[in-house]
Structure 1
């Protein structure tokens, strides 16, 4: 009897997570202002700067920007996928309703993280297609798999940052706050062009940005990073993820 109850409970919980993920995915698919920029902008920017303007460098720019624009896409999927919708749900009393529903409290959080990772995967596959067909980029199968894994999992720190922003900002202010963080971080982390092309001050300040640490891991996969151990960058990303999640969930618990 105990075994059947446990099995039934596991199936029920799994179904709750799947249904929550399905509902959140349908919700985002009905938001063209999220879908279009998230999926198309990294590919368009890569085509312009990595393929067209960077074609003179013999493929090095295409390889470099393949890694960094993948990080750029993961940033957008994580930040925008959490912050704006979370701020709207918070103001509408969504979390008070969640507490009354017979569903795991963490289902919405897991669902949104999975969806952000799914969008990040779509972005890196787009970039890989462009880089292979038009940029002449060639990586070993293990490098491709590692690069995709790093980029997809790399969306999680930005999910956590978006979670924190969405727990603090109002629904009207959330898009402005995200853009205020998103665009400068991308530029100052060397995602749009190498930091070697900028003044030394930007290079010294780059380690302050989580995107720079993720970019160093991704560039290490393509053989273009510095000598710093990737584990140090992963440690920083892990600390950022945990800290932002803890602060955001405490804030949401008080708000409910």
Structure 2
């Protein structure tokens, strides 16, 4: 247990020293939230409803970015620098190393959720029942699994600069097409059809349903689960091929 706690602490320290995490996962979502709720009201409903809706959009946007970019780029950097090879010859068991990484990533997501929820309360006075806050937080944590799987897939790349470019492109495309930056209804019809099959839309829609007093749709759950299994299988297969080589 002591080894696991030490590994988790090390992972968290590394994350908070990473400017990608601070900017993309904390500062950028809050800036977008302020602009699109206080400067430009891009919603179709009441201001209070839009403020709550967009708060969930920016929280899912933040956690999605942390899972894809922070985890993926870090895995590439560690492998390219020989860190993963070095860890294999240390007394630290491999399962503690990876479990510590996953726990550290989950703690990052929890911090992002609390930070952006607090920003919503301070900027727009968003007020929701305690059970709704908790349900949204749990959904956002659980729904991040497909994006962690995308992060592990990006982590199989050989160069950190390539991984950075690809993760940025994937992250921004998922955010726009998934309706996180603006309501998906204002996009062209063909983009709406594509967006509703993406993990980002189904991730955000689960939180949007919760703040409307409803449970996430089964379609959202099944699509997210399908993407999680797909990307985990792909990343596992690629890693095994790389180890053989």
TM-score by length of 1: 0.85
* Deviations, residues 108-127 of structure 1 (Å, cap 9, x unaligned): 33223223322222222222
Seen in structure 2, the aligned counterparts of structure 1 residues 229 and 71 have a Cα distance that, compared at 3 Å, is closer
Equivalence for 1:133: 122
Runs of 4 or more above 6 Å deviation: none
**2:204 aligned with 1:208:** no
Aligned residues of 1:66 and 1:127 also touching (Cα < 8 A):
yes
Equivalence for 1:143: 132
**2:240 aligned with 1:253:** yes
SS at 1:234 equivalent? helix
Equivalence for 1:176: 165
Distance 1:251 1:107 in 2: 22
Q: Highest Rg: 1 or 2?
A: 1
Root-mean-square deviation (CA, aligned residues, Å) is: 2.2
* Deviations, residues 153-194 of structure 1 (Å, cap 9, x unaligned): 222221110110111342221100001101011000000110
Distance 2:110 2:149 in 1: 18
**2:10 aligned with 1:19:** no
Equivalent of 1:46, from 21, 28, 33? 33
Q: Please, which moves more after superposition, 77-86 or 17-26? A: 17-26
Equivalent of 2:227, from 227, 240, 243? 240
Which 5+ residue runs of structure 1 have no aligned equivalent? 1-13
Displacement, 1:223? Answer: 1.0
Aligned residues of 1:46 and 1:66 also touching (Cα < 8 A):
yes
* Deviations, residues 11-46 of structure 1 (Å, cap 9, x unaligned): xxx233222211122222222233233211111111
Seen in structure 2, the aligned counterparts of structure 1 residues 50 and 224 have a Cα distance that, compared at 3 Å, is farther
Alignment: residue pair count: 241
Equivalence for 1:102: 91
Aligned residues of 2:67 and 2:105 also touching (Cα < 8 A):
yes
Which 5+ residue runs of structure 2 have no aligned equivalent? none
